[in-house]
Amino acid sequence: MEVPRLDHALSSPSSPCEEIKNLSLEAIQLCDRDGNKSQDSGIAEMEELPVPHNIKINNITCDSFKISWDMDSKSKDRITHYFIDLNKKENKNSNKFKHKDVPTKLVAKAVPLPMTVRGHWFLSPRTEYTVAVQTASKQVDGDYVVSEWSEIIEFCTADYSKVHLTQLLEKADVIAGRMLKFSVFYRNQHKEYFDYVREHYGNAMQPSIKDNSGSHGSPISGKLEGIFFSCSTEFNTGKPPQDSPYGRYRFEIAAEKLFNPNTNLYFGDFYCMYTAYHYVILVIAPVGSPGDEFCKQRLPQLNSKDNNFLTCTEEDGVLVYHHAQDVILEVIYTDPVALSLGTVAEITGHQLMSLSTANAKKDPSCKTCNISVGR
């Protein structure tokens, strides 16, 4: 059963007992998990209230979870509220200069278990949390008596679902702009990369795990295997730009070799990096391939002939290709690609490292490319 409402979403006291107020202007004080409290605290600790134990977390999404626990029957009927102490698990590799994430204490009316905890303002996708629980009894004078804290358990929130990705897709649709014709996909790398592919992989580029760039909740980050390609063209020439952030050597392949009626097209992500321009990640997967099966379960599928980002249509028996002008497309192809299917040549432009999206973090404040389920 879902919690009717959360009375508070407020800071958990990292120092003993910080004073808080709830939405109905009740004044209480919450103690830390060790039970420390000031002498004038409005919360007393009574052994009669049962201590939650054997906590279970399930039905986890990117911004919600269900929680339940066992309790002794003694004084169970006196429980009026639950205090849930929720904290992001400490990351030893986090930036020491960044502000610490504020812990959250949720005060919920006692409802039958399991109950749903939901809120994008304190839950982020794909994030590890710790949680502990107290039972509480509200007194006539507004004070509370509480149990001891339960044991602390850990869990991790989930990735974006198809529903959330569809919301991102709808936002990306708005700014995609008009479509421009193109004829090749291309991939820039250093000369050493292509030499390694020839020597160790039989002249075929191999899929690799996607990095963590883009939305934090993207289900393809760190999971989907593929090869990144670009297809953007210069407005005045209709050809690929001569500059690249990824290397001075470019592999070019005819568009129909990768994108055709025997492939499926999926929407993967929409993000920006504190800049005015935005990126859309699309996935092309041969029908029935492992990549296709992965995407079919997790990503919204696009109509290859009719969408606002990348299309393949037939005109007079010839396949014709268009890409969106106002977003930068990053296309992931999920199968190996033989170098013999295209050409490798050195570009004449510059290597613009500032434009690289490798492990780039999404701007969480951008209203254009964020949805209300964490970042």
Give pLDDT tens digits along the chain (375 positions): 444 333 333 333 333 333 322 322 232 334 455 544 433 344 544 458 999 999 999 999 999 999 999 998 877 888 999 999 999 887 555 444 333 444 568 888 999 999 999 886 678 899 999 999 999 999 888 888 999 999 999 999 999 999 999 999 999 999 999 999 999 999 999 999 999 999 999 999 999 999 988 998 999 999 999 999 999 988 777 788 888 888 889 999 999 999 999 999 999 999 998 888 899 999 999 999 999 999 999 999 999 999 999 999 999 999 999 999 999 999 999 999 999 999 999 988 665 555 556 666 788 889 999 988 754
Q: What is the pLDDT of residue 24?
A: 27
Going from N- to C-terminal start, the domains of the chain cover 53-157, 162-346
Cis amide prior to 207 (ω within 30 degrees): no
The CATH number of the structural domain formed by 53-157 is: 2.60.40.10
Q: What is the pLDDT of residue 105?
A: 81
Q: What is the pLDDT of residue 5?
A: 35
The dihedral of CA 299, 301, 304, 310: what is its sign? negative
Q: What is the pLDDT of residue 216?
A: 87
Q: What is the pLDDT of residue 374?
A: 52
Q: What is the pLDDT of residue 264?
A: 98
C-alpha–C-alpha distance, residues 245 and 189, integer Å: 9
Cis amide prior to 114 (ω within 30 degrees): yes
C-alpha–C-alpha distance, residues 83 and 106, integer Å: 6
Q: What is the pLDDT of residue 191?
A: 94
C-alpha–C-alpha distance, residues 224 and 55, integer Å: 33
Q: What is the pLDDT of residue 275?
A: 81
Q: What is the pLDDT of residue 325?
A: 93
Q: What is the pLDDT of residue 142?
A: 85
Q: 0.85 exceeded by the pTM?
A: no
Q: What is the pLDDT of residue 124?
A: 87
Enumerate the β-bridge partners of residue 249. Answer: 189, 346
Q: Tell me the three state secondary structure of residue 169.
A: helix
C-beta separation of 184 from 231 below 8 A: yes
C-alpha–C-alpha distance, residues 165 and 219, integer Å: 9
Which position has the token pair 């005045």? 236
